Structure 1
């Protein structure tokens, strides 16, 4: 998945409102054809036959586009539009021929001979198709502009997260260089991986990699807080293959430390869990709520930025929820499941104590 996925050009046609509008537009076309000058036949009979043909043409065209959605999805939007127009005209010819073969005597007694019928329906199909083509192109351009605007917004949100993360970790590194050089060296190695992810990494990474980055961040903070900080991991044996925004779990863990662990003189335990079901993946970050909060230094990372990136990455299927429960603060990320991956287990090699329980100091 990409940070902002772009749906296939014709995806909107499979939604219920679009199908309803197609049916209503077909009835409008049938009404226009009925009101056109012609023989003195019952308009209701002619409207019924015309409506039958028009609806079969429109719905069959939609069905054909749906069956061809995968190959059409690989084409550029203008080619998709022209293909849909040609398919509409071809379907019109086929149904006109079938209607004349089955109801030719009845139809000729009403208004048209077969030439008039073909010309009438073909002209209407081309006219409606061209109007639909223009509307489609305008809609696609508007959607492309909206996607670009959304991408720019997400990049701005990421830019707000990254300086915050770098400034705080650099402050920790500065404090340790002279006091505990060996720990500082180990911390700087972890810090280099985090810098790489923050500054030059992709917009989204596998969940296992994000958990490994979070682990490195916790090791850095463990050097700062010592025995005050403990991390408890509850992970499956194999981390599901699902992609998450880069540095999406880490900021939530950072907030949990800043607001749940740091204000408490005795520190506390931070719980990080991943649960996989058939339909989704649930990631939970849980920290104790201190009795009396103390002011913290540094910038505050807005949860809204993480929520927006998750929403964009999953096309609204994923979400971030926060709540208080039994004296603890919970941040819960829900992601749609994409399937398992044996490589996920290997990606957890950054967890030396095993995937189930890890105590971070």
Structure 2
């Protein structure tokens, strides 16, 4: 699937935005990162008065074949499906934060190893009942990976058509920090040992075991030829988020990037479409050790660092009010001229 993502580098509106920001009743640069966000969103929307419409977080869920063995995850695979029910019932952290900040939440079954009945609030986009174990074979076929990318893009397009212009992504999938670590190592060139973290709560010995298992997996992958990296290591939820990010950029939506897993999907998206970064705001630094290195790879700073490593899109939901502040000051704060306040002397 191909995407048409326009670079924002030559947007003429940037000069207008910079003048508008600079002539607000404040010293130059006094609102720091808020000024950068206002500039970015204005450029994305090609408007000197950008608006945030129907903010939405899409939470994609999928299971991972490697999780069945329990070598890299402290929680059993069944927790993925159990958490889906928790999302639908409104009991998870992401539900709390979305409700608090008036963010629409959609939950997607990308490939959970569970047969759900038709449940209001759950989007059925299941590719298969979990991926294969990449210790033995690629996690998914190239065709399944393409289908997941397409489905993620399709869901974003529907969200956009319902009036949303700012979107974030969350995930749920026992074992998905392992997939993200492998993807991170491939796309950044960083050693597996520096990519692997505690996931859902591994102790130091278990982390060493996880590093050993994933190092062996990566060695096997490196000896293979002509393989699709995202298909080999990814989860259905990660592949769908990859497609979702790319479609959102194509549609000129502002994209809020969450933590470790979502950023691994961005790495996959960025490999073919580097312009996608221009549409991304990085919500937070995850407590998962590899995430800071991912942000360094992109040369990006996050909005907040609260030591969170829950996933679900919680970093997006918590950081969202900062983005609202950036747009509000741009649109509502007085200028020196309108307020009758003297500007700097020349």
Q: Same fold (TM over 0.5)?
A: no
Say which one has the larger Rg.
1
What TM-score, normalized by structure 2, do the two folds share? 0.21
Higher normalized contact order (CA 8 Å, seq sep 6+, divided by chain length): 2
- Structure having the higher helix fraction is 1
What TM-score, normalized by structure 1, do the two folds share? 0.20
